[in-house]
Amino acid sequence: MYLIRLALASLANRRFTAWLTVFAIALSVCLLLAVERIRTETRSSFASTISGTDLIVGARSGSINLLLYSVFRLGNATNNIRWDSFETIARDPKVKWAIPISLGDSHRGYRVMGTSRAYFEHYQYGRGQALQLAQGQTFADDPFAVVLGAEVAEALHYQLGQQLVLAHGVASISLSKHDDKPFSVVGILKRTGTPVDRTLHISLQGMQALHIDWQNGVPAQGKGRISAEQARSMDLQPHAITAAMLGLNSKIATFAVQRQINEFRGEPLLAILPGVALQELWSLMGSAEKALFVVSLFVVLTGLIGMLTAILTSLNERRREMAILRSVGARPWHIASLLIVEAFALALAGVLLGLALLYLGIALAQGYVQANYGLFLPLALPSRYEWTLLGAILAAALLMGALPAWRAYRQSLADGLSIRL
């Protein structure tokens, strides 16, 4: 006990250097735990970008490619699905609901997605959270109505009632625009932190109306062009869609329905389980995840080396202090133990301060991170793995404290009392 009191008194005598060392360790610990917590929650959030959907159906290609363009709006489909094939799948008794998706157009770099009202009723993200409107309503009977994702509305400063023109294709800058058929903003969704925020949602009838006078990817000219008013009175039943999301009546039937779709005779289709495909996609990014964690470990190691440097530097300044302790009866192992206790005290104070900084940062940034990135950082106690990391940091501090302790142990009484020139 007297060693602890003596170590604390010695650190208090060098409080400025001690606090700098503690703060350096605290910052490195805070960074390590923040990276670990963000990594864990990002993985969980990534896996829940879409939830409640049992199967995603598209033209036969790769599972990751299908996931990317149907959920993340990245890349393009290799082919479309015929509308009659979608209706056949949707009428299956094992299918509870089906959401059609039609892609191919954009607006100022943001993807446009044609869908039905079922999308707003059944699509879920996160921990089973449903889509909610911040303003307005979903599209009704008018095919030229659009519901904006939160990021689109915020970035482009759109309000309800404004009109916008969609572009053909998915390029950021398109020379082919549907300027003869403007859309009116009828709703704006609440922020989700998912690709939904970066999407403009229109009805399938609206998507069909945009291309009703197009042939072979080229708009009709002259009298062949069809105006928006003419399109409203025409049959706007889509002929094909890009993909579909399915919810089943029973989870037990998932693999049976998946096999049934993969063996569909009408056309080559692919059905994937979104959770499995998300894990495959995450595994491709594992190297970047590990690299970030390794960088954080090196930051912690740098903080501990800084502590070791501070203790070693102070040894020469404390020669007389240690010699006095030896002269009043302290054994060499007492001096060595004193330095080890000091190193452990510095590391422990750094770990505790690092935890405090972590929770303070989470408390301040929790709402912003969830609103803008869809990432929920809980104010929870450290996990078993995080406790293991903290224990490893304290053990490393003890090992590093052993080096100056060994040097002090070998230092003789006469060496401390002699004057060095």
* Residue 215, amino acid: Q
Which residue's structure tokens are 């799948």? 89
Which residue's structure tokens are 């994702």? 149
DSSP category for residue 378: -
Q: Does residue 215 share a domain with residue 77?
A: yes
Domain containing 401 equals: 2-46+286-417
- How many domains in the chain? 2
Evaluate whether residue 280 is within a structural domain: no
* Boundary-marking domain end, from 211, 244, 272: 272
Q: Does residue 179 share a domain with residue 229?
A: yes
Q: What pTM value is reported for the model? A: 0.70
User: How confident is the model at residue 421, as a pLDDT?
Assistant: 45
* Boundary-marking domain end, from 212, 246, 272: 272
User: How confident is the model at residue 371, as a pLDDT?
Assistant: 64
Q: Contact at 8 Å (CB) between 230 and 78?
A: no
Evaluate whether residue 124 is within a structural domain: yes
Evaluate whether residue 279 is within a structural domain: no
What would the two tokens of residue 373 be? Answer: 């990135």
Evaluate whether residue 175 is within a structural domain: yes
Closest by CA to 269, choosing from 287, 249, 246, is: 246
What would the two tokens of residue 299 be? Answer: 């930051």
Q: Does residue 252 share a domain with residue 134?
A: yes
Per DSSP, the chain holds a count of helices (H) and strands (E) of 15, 17
What distance in Å separates the CA atoms of residue 382 and residue 32, rounded to the nearest whole number?
A: 12
Host H or E run for residue 282? helix 274-284
Closest by CA to 143, choosing from 111, 181, 105, is: 181
Distances (CA, A) of 389 to 20, 23, 39, 291, 296: 22, 18, 15, 17, 12
User: How confident is the model at residue 100, as a pLDDT?
Assistant: 96
Q: Contact at 8 Å (CB) between 213 and 226?
A: yes
* Boundary-marking domain end, from 272, 298, 328: 272
- For 313, other C-beta atoms within 10 Å of its C-beta total 12
Q: Does residue 161 share a domain with residue 103?
A: yes
Q: Does residue 26 share a domain with residue 117?
A: no
Checking DSSP bridges between strand 145-148 and strand 183-189, what pairing results, if any?
parallel
What distance in Å separates the CA atoms of residue 224 and residue 86, rounded to the nearest whole number?
A: 30
Distances (CA, A) of 399 to 284, 393, 396, 404: 37, 10, 5, 10
Tens of pLDDT along the chain (421 residues)? 655 665 566 666 667 777 888 888 888 888 888 888 888 877 777 777 888 899 999 999 888 899 989 998 888 888 899 999 999 999 999 999 999 999 988 998 899 999 999 999 999 987 788 999 999 999 877 899 999 999 899 889 999 999 999 988 776 666 578 788 899 999 999 988 788 988 999 999 999 988 887 776 666 666 667 777 887 888 888 999 999 999 999 989 999 999 999 999 889 999 999 988 888 887 777 677 777 778 877 878 887 787 777 777 766 666 666 666 655 666 665 666 777 777 788 888 889 999 999 999 998 888 777 766 667 787 888 888 889 888 888 888 888 877 776 776 665 444 544 445 4
What distance in Å separates the CA atoms of residue 241 and residue 217, rounded to the nearest whole number?
A: 16
Q: Where are the alpha helices (H) located in 108-233, listed in sequence order?
A: 118-122, 150-156, 204-210, 228-232
Q: Does residue 268 share a domain with residue 204?
A: yes
